[in-house]
Structures are given as structure tokens and as C-alpha cells.
Chain A
Amino acid sequence: MRPRLTWVHGHAVLVFAFLYLPILVLIVYSFNGESVAGFPPHGWTLRWYSELFADDALWSSVANSLLVAAVAVALALLFGIPAALALDRANFPGKRVFRRLVLLPLILPGIITGLSLLTLFAAAGAQLSLITVAIGHGTALISVAVTEVSAGLQKFDRALEEASRDLGAREWYTFRRITLPSLKLPIIAAALLIFTLSLDEIAVSFFLVGRENTLPLEIWSRLRRGMTPEINAVSTLIFAFSVITIVIWYKLRGSTTGAESR
């Protein structure tokens, strides 16, 4: 039976076009010969990319973003992995509230997370800086670590731990040799996801940033001043980076598409 083309196919084509239109525009305009974003673009140039590479302020914000992202990953994993384990295997009062709290930043608009932390830092007299931004990211992204690791724990066969104990191993040893290795993939996937989300994060960062900007905030402040084609260039680079990261993430996470059940 040959597959029939139906309106579902047409609809899918339109949606994909809608999803990719801005990205295509971005890439095309990053090579635009004119500096004004008229349509259609004229000329072809690498000028914006070369200006980009000479732009020190931008690169220092990139460095800041990378630093913040690294710290965010560390924080999120450091507290997120135990949190996932606690939700899976520990019993304590307030467990349900805890679960709700930890996962809330996933769906809560970033502004609320950012503002609430701002009031905390203000009350504590702490100065806003990249550190406060990193704390904000890390706290919010614990939710991602918990989600990924919890999914890994669901798939994990408890009988393996029981076998380990049966053979005489103690708890910490079992955790180190059996449980943790089985969580290797979810943890790496979580780390990649958290890293990428942190790099792009703007809502929380908006309120917690000090003198040093992260990349999104640097782009933001330039956008407020007016369009510069350089932005297209840096955006295209970010896009390329994201694509590479997501391909790696996808390969690591295995079949996320539920293809097993097909």
C-alpha cells in the first residue's frame, strides 16, 4: 500500500516552514551585503562575521556565559542527582511539597524565579554578579536534572541493587559501582541540556546580573539600541552550536522518540 498524501502531510510542511523561517532569515541576513534589513537582501559578505570576531565586548560576554553555564551545571547536578534519588527512594515529611517546589521552575515564567531570588539577594545585602546569575540558573535547572535522572531511575532495575547487596556489598559501594554508572547517560544528557539552556537563559539572568553581561543580555542590550547585522552573525553561530549539541544530546539519550514501542 503506497502511503497516501493527505492534508496531514501538507500541514506538517507548513508547520516546519513556520518553525524554520526565522532561522533561515537569520542565516541569510548574516551574509547580507547591506546593513539595513530590507528584503530581499543584496550582496554577499562575511563582513559581519569578521566584525563579530573583533568584538571584544561580545566575546567577553561569551566567556561569562560559558562560565555561568559550567557553574550552573555543577550546581544543578550536585543538588539535582540527590534530589532525584530522594524522590525515588527516601521518605520524609513534605516530600510532595518538595517535589512540587523543585519542578516548579520548569513551568514558572523565568521572571518570577528571577525576581524572587533578587529579593533574597537584596535582603541578604549580596551584590549582583555572575555568581548570583549562576545561582539563579543552577537553582532553576535543578528541575531539569531531577527530570532526567528520575527518568533514568524509572528504567533502572532495582533487582541489580538487590543482587549487589545480596553479594555482600554495602550501600555506598552499591551506589558507586551499580547505581551511578547506570545513571551515566541521563546525567550527561542532563548536563548538556542544562548547559545549553543556561547559555540561552535571559529571563532569570535579567534580574540577577551585575556589571558583567552574559551573552543573551549583551545581545539584548544591543538590540535595544538598534539593529546591527552582527547580531545575525552571532545568532547563526549560536544556531550551529545548538544543532551540534542537540545531535550529541540526542545520540546520548538514546531513543527518546518512543520508537521502541513502534
Chain B
Amino acid sequence: MRLECNGLKYTYPESEVAVIDNLCFSMAGPGFNAVFGPSGVGKTSLAKLLVSQKDRPDSRILAPGMETILYSYNQERLPGWSSTGSHLDRVCPAGKKKLKQDLIEIFRLAPVLEARFAQLSMGQQNRMNLIRYLLQEFDLLIMDESLANVDEALRETIILAVKAFFPGKMFLYISHNLMEVAKFCKEILVLSEPVKQKGSFMVKGRDYCQGYTLDKKSFDATMLEIMDAF
């Protein structure tokens, strides 16, 4: 299982500036990885390209061992004609009911299963959306700001649970939260702004799992390494 880009370049139609220019990186094996960078640097564009261009013969994206790549983002909505609980029931594959129940508990969504999606808070909406993706079959799940509007403590709980429940999968966590990516991610693809001309580079994260002990010195060093890109 590997995710690799070799000189990926992309320019939006009617734009003269490439949003992604000569991007090269490689992420090996399952793991909770991240894409980090300031707004507008191309994180979401990269995510969409990973999904759309993976199987093209001339693609600069290689994903051996990964059949299914799913992309979820924080503005998705569930249909409003039924409760969120019944929607989850409908999209939950056979044999994953236990997983569903566990995720609902961990994500603290049990009290809102009878509610319609529009009645949930933004944080609850994002968590509900993430659960339904986690229930599907995938090799790589791209989580684009999927935990926005969720408090820090619960975000930590969720990320640790995801890592524990899906050890054999690869995740690409798109986030602006430096501490979070530094703490919990295995590999971090840091994208810098084109004007800074620092390109992109990989940083090894601390990859903490459940029951971890924070090593402050190495944690700070990781964050510094990431910050160096800006």
C-alpha cells in the first residue's frame, strides 16, 4: 500500500497560475497521515485529484494496493427527509452494525440519532458525516476538515479511535491544526505557498496512539519542522 505523486501539476481552467506544481511525495503503508498548509495552497485540490486521476493511464498519481479512495469534506450534508439514525442504518453495510454502534458512542452522537440533520450543530453534522464514510469499504479515506467545529478533546478521542479501529487503512487528514497533525499523524505532507518557493516536503509526525505519553521535546521539534515551511 503506497501513495505516490511524481511531478503532479494542475492548473484550474482559465487560470494562469498552477495550483499544484511539480508535486512529488510518497507515503507508504497504512497509517494516519496529514496534508498541512495555509489556505489556498492546494490541499483540497490535491485531495480531489487523488480521487479523480488515480486510475488514469497517464496519471502522476500512483496508489498501488489501494482500490478505493474516498473523499469526505466538512460541508457535506445528509438528506433531510429522515433522521440521521435511520440514514446511518441505511448506509451501514451488513456486518458493520457493531462498528457503527461503537463509533456512535465514541463520537457522542447517540442522543441525536432521532434528529434530522439540519437540527444538529455543525460539529455534530461533521461527526455524523465522518461516521458514514468510516462505515464504507475504503483503502484510503481523505478527511478534508472533517472534524471542524469539534472541540479539541473530542477531536483527540475521535482521531485515536479511528487509528485504533482502522489499523490497516490509510488516512489523509487535511487540517489547519498544527498541534494535532504533529501529535497524531504518521507522515505529514507540508505544502507551502508558491511565493515562498519552498515547495513541498514530508515531515514525520509523532503518530501517537491511545494511551500515549507526550514527549514534549520531540513534539516541539516536529512542530518547528513543520513551521519551517512558512
A, B from the same assembly: no
